[in-house]
């Protein structure tokens, strides 16, 4: 992942993506679906999320087509299946600056007793990337980028599985190929391979989600969690209210500008309202370096992100009198 920073401002490298975002619909409230109960928020375990990240780290680097990535997919499938989630591997090939590469997204739905209808979308999509950046000449474990979001998503699956009605409203997607093959990400040219393919395939379904939540770099307790400026107005307001409810106002702040990440293809190709949550990577001296190791994240920071996500869903799904 490469984000452009100009005088402290994050910018998307595509005028068309910004224009599309301005036309995207706002996030609706979702009172007609099974609510996410308040008690679910308290049951999210940052320690379990951290333990998942540690296991992924033990597999080694996770660039596309690597042994570490294959082991990570196997691990995610095993954990999700045990919780009642069905998974589907979505593999595809894409041209990259070094030739054709096979990428594999992992999609999961809660369906303990039957096979889900993959032609239909639940109202809520939660996504994050599984791959780590490719460095042929060094060992890059990518603990915060992107092990942290993966651990949070697995724990969200665990928490939601206790509330079957709520879990049925969610699709989880673990993106491959978020990271650029070369050093810098350029939209439509290098990076965001998995989310671009997913968004393009999403348009072919009979129904679309109402909201996409994308999380990234969420494990560092020493930096703020940013609400991306491309988030829909309603989703932004709910995230701010959730932070206030959880007494996280000082840790959760608006990004100073747009950030290029896996949410952008969802906006551009699927016209989907999003909530983008990302750690302030500009203040992470280890970002995209070998220092992105397990000591950079904490269970408490992971728990904050998980609870914030659940609080947003709780607010969006409350029944109205």
> Is residue 238's pLDDT more than 50?
yes
What is the value of pTM for the model shown? 0.93
Q: Confidence class of residue 145 from pLDDT cuts 50, 70 and 90?
A: very high
Tell me, yes or no, whether 226 lies in a domain: yes
Find the mean pLDDT for residues 187-214. 97
Domain count, the chain: 1
What angle, rounded to 10 degrees, do the helices at 299-316 and 148-160 form? Answer: 50
- Is residue 18 predicted with pLDDT exceeding 80? no
Query: pLDDT tens across 52-102, in order?
Result: 999 999 999 999 999 999 999 999 999 999 999 999 999 999 999 999 999
Look over the chain and give the mean of its residue pLDDT values, rounded to a whole number: 92
Residue 321 falls inside a structural domain: no
Q: What is the pLDDT of residue 27?
A: 81
**pLDDT at residue number 24:** 61
CA distances (Å), origin 191, targets 2, 133, 225, 269: 9, 10, 22, 15
The torsion region of residue 271 among left (phi > 0), alpha (psi -120 to 50) and beta comes to: left
The CATH number covering residue 278 comes to 3.40.630.10
In a domain? residue 189: yes
- Residue-range definition of the domain harbouring residue 199: 4-316
Q: Where are the alpha helices (DSSP H) in 44-192?
A: 46-58, 67-82, 148-160, 164-167
Q: What average pLDDT does range 158-177 have in this prediction?
A: 97
Name the more confident of 32 and 96.
Answer: 96
């Amino acid at each position: 992942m490469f984000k452009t920073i100009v005088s402290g401002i994050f910018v998307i490298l595509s005028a068309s993506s910004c224009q599309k975002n301005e036309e995207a619909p706002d996030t609706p409230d979702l009172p007609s679906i099974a609510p996410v109960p308040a008690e679910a928020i308290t049951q999210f375990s940052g320690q379990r999320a951290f333990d998942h990240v540690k296991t992924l780290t033990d597999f080694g680097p996770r660039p596309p087509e690597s042994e570490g990535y294959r082991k990570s997919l196997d691990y995610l499938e095993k954990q999700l299946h045990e919780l009642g989630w069905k998974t589907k591997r979505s593999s595809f090939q894409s041209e990259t600056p070094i030739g054709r590469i096979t990428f594999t997204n992992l999609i999961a739905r809660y369906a303990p007793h039957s096979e889900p209808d993959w032609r239909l979308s639940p109202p809520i999509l939660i996504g994050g990337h599984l791959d780590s950046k490719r460095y042929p000449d060094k060992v890059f474990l990518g603990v915060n980028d992107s092990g942290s979001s993966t651990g949070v998503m697995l724990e969200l699956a665990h928490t939601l599985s206790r509330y079957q009605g709520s879990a049925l409203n969610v699709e989880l997607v673990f993106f491959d190929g978020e990271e650029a093959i070369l050093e810098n990400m350029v939209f439509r040219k290098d990076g965001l391979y998995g989310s671009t393919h997913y968004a393009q395939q999403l348009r072919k379904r009979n129904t679309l989600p109402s909201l996409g939540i994308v999380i990234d770099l969420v494990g560092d307790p020493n930096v703020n969690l940013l609400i991306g400026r491309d988030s829909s107005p309603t989703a932004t307001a709910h995230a701010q209210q959730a932070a206030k409810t959880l007494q996280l106002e000082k840790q959760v702040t608006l990004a100073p500008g747009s950030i290029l990440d896996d949410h952008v293809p969802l906006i551009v190709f699927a016209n989907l309202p999003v909530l983008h949550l990302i750690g302030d990577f500009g203040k992470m001296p280890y970002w995209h370096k070998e220092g992105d190791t397990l000591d950079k994240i904490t269970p408490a920071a992971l728990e904050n992100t998980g609870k914030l996500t659940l609080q947003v869903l709780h607010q969006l799904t409350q029944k109205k009198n």
